[in-house]
Amino acid sequence: MGQEVRGVVAKEKGAAVTLETIVVPNPGPGEAVIALQACGVCRTDLHYREGGINDDFPFLLGHEAAGIVESVGAGVTDVAPGDFVVLNWRAVCGTCRACRRGRPWYCFSTHNAAQKMTLPDGTALSPALGIGAFADKTLVAAGQCTKVNPKARPEAAGLLGCGVMAGLGAAMFTGQVELGDSVAVFGCGGVGCAAVAGSKLVGAAVIIGVDLNAKKLDLARSFGATHTIDASTTDPVQAIRSLTGGNGADVCIEAVGDPKVMEQAFLARDLAGTLVQVGVPTPDMKIELPMIELFGRGGALKSSWYGDCLPERDFPMLTGLYLQGRLPLEKFVSETIELDGVEESFGKMQRGEVLRSVVKI
């Protein structure tokens, strides 16, 4: 039969989100119902509300979450009721071409639960990124649940489910930042600060944070930036060159989603350096690069989806580093809010006032 709980729903394009009664069915084969404890507010939730992802309204928002498994369907063996889990939007299938070639981080046959949650009148809800976690409970595929150490605070651990993982992984996995490297991170929001933290974790010697907002630059320093550049007053390409002995950075990470910043990040690299694109562009954005610069500078241009993470490998490991005090996940939690505070938190995010507002459920 299922159960009626509260959930944050975007009913139509551009309209304020509302707290609604939703119906969460019992788990079918391969599925699990999660009693949610915390869910971070990510820019992608706002993109959904604005119709920027697709038109499958109404959406059940929220996708950066941790909670307790309440019940599981037939055939579920990896998780059991009572387990503390972080939800992921990359439940790798193991059988697609990417998985078979040993590149499961490119798996796109993600095993999400069928869209079975509804409004009380039967209207189907589209869960954001196949998760839908601004709710008391949600239904997901069991593969979307990754068990982590239950000593972790849900508000912190849940952030591994999206933005923080994207930033950490952009540096550690996509950019392959190494001991002694120089790194420049453009945009020091939640994703950029995580890229700074990831660069520090793997031993980068120089970590340069670039932003337009002085508060974000302070935050970047608190996560391990050795230098910061205010791009509203200083040309970041020149400044990065002078901070790296005239060379440019080994790895430049674009964490804004802006063509001008992308060009700056391209030009601020050392010879054979790597440019990692994490910021999500809109379909109309274009960059213009002289071909001779692409040829002459060598190196690599890579985009990073979800930090090239593998949840089963990375979430438990990163939760462990957090519990050892080596990964400051708590610092990303700018504030905790209630389920009915999600709409207001979008404004705070747009005004650059928070790294993450986290709904405590």
Ligand X SMILES: NC(=O)c1ccc[n+]([C@@H]2O[C@H](COP(=O)([O-])OP(=O)(O)OC[C@H]3O[C@@H](n4cnc5c(N)ncnc54)[C@H](O)[C@@H]3O)[C@@H](O)[C@H]2O)c1
* Positions that interact with ligand X (CB under 6 A): 43-44, 162-163, 166, 186-192, 210-213, 216, 231, 255-258, 261, 278-280, 304-306, 352
Of 322 and 346, which has the nearer Cβ to ligand X? 346
Q: Which of helix, strand or coil describes residue 55?
A: coil
Of 63 and 227, which has the nearer Cβ to Zn ion? 63
Distance in Å, CB of 194 to ligand X, minimum: 8
276 contacts 174 by C-beta, under 8 angstroms: yes
Element (H, E) at 184: strand 182-186
138 contacts 36 by C-beta, under 8 angstroms: yes
Helices (H) and strands (E) in the chain, counts: 11, 17
Candidate residues 162, 225, 240, 243; the one interacting with Zn ion per rule CB under 5 A = 162
Of 173 and 306, which has the nearer Cβ to Zn ion? 306
Distance in Å, CB of 151 to ligand X, minimum: 26
**Contacts for 43-48: CB closer than 8 Å, 24+ residues apart:** 43/163, 43/280, 43/349, 44/128, 44/129, 44/162, 44/280, 45/128, 45/134, 45/342, 45/346, 46/346, 46/349, 46/350, 47/280, 48/10, 48/128
Quick one: tokens of 73?
């369907």
Which listed option, Zn ion, ligand X, none, makes contact with residue 304 (CB within 5 to 8 Å by class)? ligand X
Q: Which residues contact 262 (CB under 8 A, 6 or more apart)?
A: 254, 275, 277, 279, 281, 287
Q: What is the dihedral of CA 167, 259, 187, 301, to 10 degrees?
A: 40
Distance in Å, CB of 130 to ligand X, minimum: 14
| Interaction residues for Zn ion, span 24-83 (CB under 5 A) | 42, 44
| Cα–Cα dist 153/319, whole Å | 10
Please report whether residue 357 would count as binding Zn ion according to CB under 5 A.
Answer: no
Distance in Å, CB of 96 to Zn ion, minimum: 3
Distance in Å, CB of 268 to ligand X, minimum: 12
| Interaction residues for Zn ion, span 237-276 (CB under 5 A) | none
Of 234 and 336, which has the nearer Cβ to ligand X? 234
Distance in Å, CB of 77 to ligand X, minimum: 29
Q: Which of 205, 170, 187, 204 is nearest to 276 (CA)?
A: 170
Distance in Å, CB of 70 to Zn ion, minimum: 23
Which listed option, Zn ion, ligand X, none, makes contact with residue 226 (CB within 5 to 8 Å by class)? none
Which listed option, Zn ion, ligand X, none, makes contact with residue 99 (CB within 5 to 8 Å by class)? Zn ion
Q: Within 13 Å and on the Cβ side, how many CA atoms surround 324?
A: 9
Please report whether residue 309 would count as binding Zn ion according to CB under 5 A.
Answer: no
Neighbours of 77 (CB within 10 A): 7
Distance in Å, CB of 171 to ligand X, minimum: 12
Q: Which residue is nearest to ligand X (CB)?
A: 189
Q: Which of 79, 66, 65 is nearest to 30 (CA)?
A: 79
Which listed option, Zn ion, ligand X, none, makes contact with residue 62 (CB within 5 to 8 Å by class)? none
Of 39 and 267, which has the nearer Cβ to Zn ion? 39
Residue type, 282: T
Please report whether residue 99 would count as binding Zn ion according to CB under 5 A.
Answer: yes
Which listed option, Zn ion, ligand X, none, makes contact with residue 306 (CB within 5 to 8 Å by class)? ligand X
Residue type, 23: V
Return residues touching Zn ion (CB under 5 A): 42, 44, 93, 96, 99, 107, 109, 162
